[in-house]
Amino acid sequence: MIAVALLLAQTAAAPAAVARGEQIFAQNCSVGYCHGVAGAAGRGPRLRGRRFSKDYLYGVTRDGIPSSAMPAWKDRLQDEDIHAVVEYVASLATATDPPPPANPMPPGTGPAAVPNFMGPNAAARGHELFFDPARENCGVCHSVGGRGIAIGPGLAGGQEIMLSDKATHSRHVVTAKLKNGEEFPALPAERDENQVRLYDLTLAPPVLRTFARSEVVSLVPTSTWRHSDFVKDYSRSELDAIVVYLRWAATGK
């Protein structure tokens, strides 16, 4: 009888875990540059209609995939929330209906939209580096000339951000504090009377997260976030080349 009761309890708990996992997935994973809505293909691979072992899903979600855009979530989500996401993704294996419409991308058409650079040779190297697909490039946060993803502000005339490793603040960045005690640097995306959407800047590319307004305690301008942490993989000469490109994009010279 005890074994039967435990089995029934586990069965009853599963829908709640799947529902919780669906909510967490929608808030953190289903964004324009990662996985699509309800496990559809995005820039990340399709999860819907595919079978994975739960051990594999847990390991990938917890620890990420080295040298890929898949981040580790072990320092961002409670273990029970990771297990909930695993249950939700596993539940998508038998999904046969079409997913709902994809989330709209932020302004900009995406880093792969314009393969050829038609500008001057002097700016070509910086353009290549700005949208370099081999690294977490500038184009995953900024849009120039209609290309890239406009998460962060436009860079026309603001190339000093790229150069200065002493710049310790941006008027656009805030510290978000949640009811559960979590704090992180963020760029506000949208807010209304019911919810707040924030780009979490603790990872690159930033993750778009959605919260009920009641979950957000405060959004306070910060003086500690460093843009230089996001461009640390670029050398000084590479940053100089990017500045040449940005000046050309802003002035045509």
Q: Which residue type is seen at 187?
A: L
Mean per-residue pLDDT, 48-55: 90
**DSSP string spanning 213-227?**
GGGEEEEEE-S---G
Q: What percent of the chain has pLDDT over 70?
A: 75
Under CATH, which number does the domain 174-225 receive?
2.30.30
pLDDT of residue 11: 41
Q: Where in the chain is the domain with CATH 2.30.30?
A: 174-225
Residue 85 CA to residue 24 CA, distance in Å, equals: 7
Q: Which residue has the higher pLDDT, 201 or 88?
A: 88
Is the pLDDT reported for residue 250 higher than 80?
Answer: yes
pLDDT tens digits along 145-154: 777 777 787 7
Q: Where in the chain is the domain with CATH 1.10.760.10?
A: 2-94
Q: Which residue has the higher pLDDT, 24 or 203?
A: 24
Nearest CA to 172 out of 217, 128, 206 is that of 206
Is the pLDDT reported for residue 176 higher than 80?
Answer: yes
Confidence of residue 8 (pLDDT cuts 50, 70, 90): very low
Is the pLDDT reported for residue 182 higher than 60?
Answer: yes
Residues 117 and 108: beta-carbon distance below 8 Å: no
**Architecture of the domain made up of 121-167+228-251:** Orthogonal Bundle (1.10)
Residues 91 and 28: beta-carbon distance below 8 Å: no
Is the pLDDT reported for residue 164 higher than 70?
Answer: no
Residue 242 CA to residue 234 CA, distance in Å, equals: 10
**Architecture of the domain made up of 2-94:** Orthogonal Bundle (1.10)
Is the pLDDT reported for residue 12 higher than 70?
Answer: no
**Exposure string for 153-170, b = 16+ CB within 10 A, e = fewer:** bebeeebebbeeeeeeeb
Q: Reading across the β-sheet that carries 216-221, which strands appear in turn?
A: 207-212, 195-200, 183-191, 174-178, 216-221
| 245, burial (CB in 10 Å: exposed 0-12, middle 13-18, buried 19+) | buried
Q: What percent of the chain has pLDDT over 90?
A: 23
